[in-house]
Amino acid sequence: MNTVRHPAAERAGRVKLMIFDVDGVLTDGGLRYGPDGEMFKTFNVLDGHGIKLLQQSGVKAAIISARNSPVVAKRATDLGIAVLMQGVHDKRRAFEQVLSELNLAAADCGFMGDDVIDLPVMTRVAFAASVPNGHPEVRSRAHYVSAARGGQGAAREVCDFILQAQGHYEAALAPYLE
């Protein structure tokens, strides 16, 4: 990919911590229930690898989600995401807690969300991203809206965008091109 020339590139270049919502961002937003009431979520492998590449470049990753799901905890573990906050209905408060624990400022962070519950964080971070199937109020306040839909590579697109903005994209790809 070429150098990022998107207006949000400068903002993405400052990101030290990228936070993701789950439903509608890392998944397609659909809720599937089994016969015994168990919930199923489908994650995209492109998103997962993008998050790993981002972390390998030095950008931390976190998840803040309103729902509480064991499958999300498993996914976070699989991806090496140490900061996982679930069952959070006040995302602003959770965000402030993350900032305190990691000794970061809001200006060091990015957030990717899709619904109005995400706005209290999205309006505070340096880099706010959303998905094309997100709520219109959220998309209108995002610095970057992915071309890919939630759960279909949107997070990977944002990870690649950050890697490009920070000048780490080619280095992230290099091991696969040898």
- Using CA atoms, how far residue 13 sits from 2, 10, 18, 63, 108, in Å, is 15, 5, 11, 20, 9
What is the model's pLDDT at position 2? 47
d(C-alpha 4, C-alpha 47), whole Å: 19
Structure tokens at 15: 């990101």
What is the model's pLDDT at position 153? 97
The pairing of strands 17-20 and 32-33 is unpaired
d(C-alpha 26, C-alpha 35), whole Å: 24
- Using CA atoms, how far residue 136 sits from 11, 115, 130, 131, 139, in Å, is 21, 9, 10, 10, 5
Distance of CA 120 to the CA centre of its chain: 15
What is the model's pLDDT at position 4? 55
What is the model's pLDDT at position 38? 80
* Structure confidence by residue, pLDDT tens digits, 98-134: 999 999 999 999 999 999 999 999 999 999 999 999 9
The CB density around residue 58, as the number of other CB atoms within 10 Å, is 9
For the full predicted model, state whether its pTM sits above 0.85. yes
Helix, strand or coil, per DSSP, at residue 50: helix
* Rounded average pLDDT over 53-68: 97
What is the model's pLDDT at position 1? 47
Closest residue by Cα to residue 18 from 166, 149, 134: 166
What is the model's pLDDT at position 150? 97
In the chain, the domains with their CATH numbers are 14-171 (3.40.50.1000)
Q: Is the pLDDT of residue 71 over 90?
A: yes
